Amino acid sequence: MKWTLFAGLNSVTFEGSVSTPASSVFDAYADKVEIVWHYDGATEAWTRYVPGISDPMVSTLTTLLPGKIYSVKVKAGTEPFELTYSAGINKWLLLVGGLVGLGVILVAAKE
């Protein structure tokens, strides 16, 4: 499956029945993806994954969990691109969020 990501912040919901290493999804896009964030409401803590950096002091997010939302920051100046990932029954639903004044626009795209 593939989704279009844009420069700046993109919200992505991971939908699937199995957890997946963040590295297997984002490392192939280390030249475009700056950082991936996730907020865990249960622990009230943010975790992060920096593609290509496995140091646990830097990348505290190791696994993507089904149904969870992740913020993917694409490097400034990056042209829109397709993030392609396939692993059996896993799939992504991309919600591209952008601020307009005080409102938020959400666009859903999926193959």
Predicted confidence at residue 97, as pLDDT, reads 44
Instruction: Name the CA radius of gyration of the chain, rounded.
Output: 13
pLDDT tens profile 55-69 = 999 999 999 998 899
Angle at CA of residue 64, ends 32 and 87, nearest 5°: 80
Extract the tokens encoding 62. Answer: 């190791």
Lowest mean pLDDT among 22-31, 51-60, 91-100: 91-100
Which percentage of the chain shows pLDDT scores above 90?
57
Distance between CA atoms of 91 and 77, rounded to whole angstroms? 27
Answer whether residue 83 shows pLDDT above 60: yes
Report the predicted TM-score, pTM, of the whole model to 2 decimal places. Answer: 0.76
- Is 97 in contact with 13 (CB distance < 8 Å)? no
